[in-house]
Amino acid sequence: MCTTSFENLLVWQKAHTYVLMVYNITKKYPKEEMFGLSNQMRRAAASITANIAEGFVRAGKKEKLRFYNISLGSLEETKNFIILSRDLGYITPDEKNELYSIANEVGKLLNSYSNGLLRSMNV
CATH of domain 8-25+32-120: 1.20.1440.60
DSSP state of 68: H
**With 80 as the cut, is the pLDDT of residue 5 above it?**
yes
Q: pLDDT category, 123, cuts 50, 70, 90?
A: low
Long-range pairs, 73-76, Cβ under 8 A, ≥24 = 74/44, 74/45, 74/47, 74/48, 75/15, 75/48, 75/103, 75/106, 75/107, 75/110, 76/107
In percent, the amount of the chain with pLDDT more than 70 equals: 98
Q: Give residue 99's identity as a one-letter amino acid code.
A: L
Structure confidence by residue, pLDDT tens digits, 12-41: 999 999 999 999 999 999 999 989 999 999
- Domain parsing of the chain, residue ranges: 8-25+32-120
Instruction: Please compute the mean of the pLDDT values over residues 98-106 and round it to a whole number.
Output: 97
**Confidence (pLDDT) at 43:** 98
Instruction: Please compute the mean of the pLDDT values over residues 87-91 and round it to a whole number.
Output: 97
